[in-house]
A and B are shown apart, each in its own frame.
Chain A
Amino acid sequence: MNSVDLSVNVGGLKLKNPVLLASGTVGYGNEISQFTDLSKLGGIVTKSLSLKPRKGNPPQRIVETPSGMLNAIGLANIGVEAFLKEKIPFLKNINTTLICNIAASSIEEYVECTKILTNEDTIKAFEINVSCPNVKEGGLEFGNNVNTVRKITAEVCAVTDKPIIIKLSPNVSQISEFAKAVKAEGGDAVSAINTLVGTSFNIFTRKPKIKNITGGLSGPAIKPVALAKVLEIKRNVDIPIVGIGGIMNWMDAVEMMIVGASAVQLGTVNFINPNAGVEIVEGLISYCEQRSIKKISEISGSFQI
């Protein structure tokens, strides 16, 4: 038994600890489970699901950048129907909280996906992706428009009793305005940040290194941006925040919680160290024990400015 209470409550979603694996970096759980014990994590967030399967973008989809990577996967996914049939049986038994990420090309599609998935008991919450930078329809078209985010939040919340987390884009001038809109429409939490729009060119061919031309930047390179965005939300809006962006180790996770996150998500690090989540949970326990912190939730938003 841990002497530290690691449990957290994110807008009504109870997690055994604050470490989640981020959407798009854990597939539907089966591959990564060969390397790590998912039951030791607070939860996992599925790859974005859409109503119908999506093939995703053609290659080249990824490129490495200094301390980061760009990706333009294009929301490749199997669709809600195949997800329920093929992936839920495995996910039922992982003994950690399952959050479904939903991406869509229209408000109606977000609502439809949520309606279908909310009947599945294994799913404990939804993360609504209004901020994918790599698709033509939906994605940033939605995430950049506060009125659209408002509308999506309201309509999705109306069709489920499960907690709704809206995943926000950092590619806006004031992220806190979006968090305010989510709160006003009954959203339970926000997650921040999705990737930053970036690009990379080959200087010899003068062509973009990824086919989509631009991609989403992730990895340790974006951590300072993520921290600033989470802090901005924390200081301006009273809504639980799931902090995402460049977390590589337990120290990064603590830092993200200090600036305001109730829980954190790990993304790019899963590609490099698929056991990072478990190691970070262990690191958080030692951090708390050494400082006699009884409940990890005490460190959320504990910044001294």
Chain B
Amino acid sequence: MFIEKAVVRSVEEIAEGIFLLSAHSPSIASIAKAGQFCNIKVSETDFPLLRRPFSIFNIKGDFLFFVFDTHGLGTKILSAKRKNDTLDILGPLGNGFDLTGDYQTAVIVAGGLGVAPFSFLIRSLQDDKEMVSYLGARTKKKIVNLGLKNVSMATDDGSYGFKGNVVDLLKKETLELSKKKFRIFACGPNPMLKELQSLCIKNNYDCQISIECAMACGFGICQGCPIESYEDKNYLLVCKDGPVFNANAVKL
């Protein structure tokens, strides 16, 4: 783990209110794994005070990529960064996805900005794995589809693809998927993950979910991001024990 002063290379709006930022951060880029995150200080002042956690969207050479929605002050400041601005990045944090094991198909299920960790995951998968992706968004303008393969789309308002949520879309196709051994990798809003979780527990699907949670430090000292565990009577921490968990391990 490092605290690195990264230099911004570019910030571009890739969908309505959604930005892709790249920054030169060689130390973090050299060791990060798919599914890990970074905690970014967006300002040099005490306001906003805390760092903001972002999934690592991708890594190319010495560059880190992050994708984010401008829903609060921190992300607004981040979206206004320009080439050669510096960013104070702490990372890589948390445990990434476990890509090892016996499965033939990687099934990606992403809701909204839940696509964030998957470009990196796809690059990290071994070539012999097949890949199918289910991507959900509120509406067509909010779709972020960068680098996903074999994509089926769902939108809440039906403006593109299946009308409804991405888990309902997935349910329609599980019979087809079940012909081969598959593992689901999922990320998205909690209600979506909750629905997916009950589907996976009921059918005993192999599934890893990446969870979003407000946090302060990102590495286990503030204890601000507890999550109830099915296995341990104590809380787990999303930052340190996650953000990726087996779908049957945590209570959402």
Contacts and interface: CB of A to CB of B under 8 A. Distances in A.
Given A272-B49, A275-B3, A27 B220 contact: yes
B214 interface: yes
Contact of B234 (A31, A53, A270, A272): A53
B46 A64 contact: no
Contacts of B216: 62, 64, 69, 71, 268, 271-272
B224 A61 contact: yes
A195 to B, nearest CB: 13
Contacts of A272: 41, 49-51, 216-217
Main secondary structure of the interface of A (DSSP, over half): loop
Given A56-B226, A67-B49, A270 B235 contact: no
Contact of B226 (A32, A61, A273): A61
Interface residues of B, number: 29
B54 to A, nearest CB: 16
A62 B226 CA distance: 10
Contacts, number: 96
A15 interface: no
A220 B50 CA distance: 11
Interface string A235-261: 000000000000010000000000000
A273 B4 CA distance: 11
Interface in A272-297: 272-275
Given A60-B214, A268-B49, A272-B49, A76 B224 contact: no
B227 A67 contact: no
Contacts of B222: 24-25, 62, 71, 73, 271
Q: Which 5 A-B pairs have the closest CB atoms?
A: A62-B224, A271-B217, A271-B216, A31-B220, A27-B221
Interface of A: 24-27, 31-32, 34-35, 47, 53, 55-56, 58-64, 66-69, 71, 73, 76, 219-220, 248, 268, 270-275
